[in-house]
Amino acid sequence: MNWQWLRFSELGVENLYDALALRCRVFIVEQVPFLDPDGIDQSSWHLLGRDAAGALQAYLRVVDPGRVYAEPSIGRVVTAPECRRQGLGRVLMAEGIARCEAAWPQCGIRIGAQARLERFYVSFGFSPVGAEYIEDNIPHIQMWRAAT
């Protein structure tokens, strides 16, 4: 997997298009209609994973501290449907956590996770914080991972 770690202004139109297309395939077509371009992309880092042929297979964004939470926040974690059940989501998440730890070594990471994925995030050291809540008609839970 070829990883790119880019600020919004560095994405360029091809990367931006590919990222939004993958996010729409999963978050809107598979799950539930909602406004994916939410105005937060511009103050975020974007991690794009492309296969050897150059196709975008994995993506996440890391929102700068102070924008959504006091800490950096990982979100929009997505892998292409045809790549699932191969461990790519685990590789993607580990890469995102490593990027956060390098950029903000003294900060923990806070996420708003889909509740059905709680065990996945717990396996990365995240702990649930508070009660479940509904976001975009999907149960979510806020989760926290302390700085290491």
In-domain check, residue 133: no
Residue 143, pLDDT score: 97
Q: Using one digit for the tens of pLDDT, what is the confidence trace for 2-38? A: 899 989 899 998 898 889 888 888 777 667 676 567 7
> Is residue 113 included in any domain, yes or no?
no
Query: Is the Cα torsion angle 10, 107, 135, 28 positive or negative in sign?
Result: positive
The structure's pTM equals 0.82
* Position 96 in a domain: yes
The arithmetic mean of pLDDT across residues 104-132, rounded, is 96
Range of the domain at 16: 2-104
**48 assigned to some structural domain:** yes
Reported as a single tens digit per residue, the pLDDT across 68-112 is 999 999 999 999 999 989 999 999 999 999 999 999 999 999 999
CA-based nearest residue to 111, from 99, 101, 97:
97
Mean pLDDT of all residues in 37-51: 89
Task: Enumerate the β-bridge partners of residue 114.
Answer: 140
The pLDDT score that the predictor gives to residue 34 is 63
In a domain, 23, yes or no: yes
In a domain, residue 65? The reply is yes
